[in-house]
Amino acid sequence: MKDSEIKKILVENDEEFKKIYEEHQNYENQLKDFQDKHFLTSEEELEVKKIKKKKLFLKDKMQQIINEYRKESKN
């Protein structure tokens, strides 16, 4: 089963995963807003770095849950 398929199942059935996924999407949208700007202030650049770190943390957490799901479904 692909990660995207597992992700869909987890979003529908696991509240913790759904919350993490939605927060990750929120950070993704914030980054897109910054990318649309032609110029970023130093404060905005710092904010972009913070958002990227938070987003990466959530992505890693989602992957961990996906891996656990995959492992449990094999048993």
* Cα angle for residues 47, 53, 55 (degrees, 5° grid): 100
How many other C-beta atoms can be found within 10 angstroms of the C-beta atom of residue 69?
A: 19
CB 54 within 8 A of CB 27: yes
Task: Convert the pLDDT of each residue in 19-50 to its tens digit.
Answer: 999 999 999 999 999 999 999 999 999 999 99
pTM for the full model?
0.87
Look up the domain containing 26 and give its range: 3-74
CB 66 within 8 A of CB 3: yes
Question: What is the number of structural domains in the chain?
Answer: 1
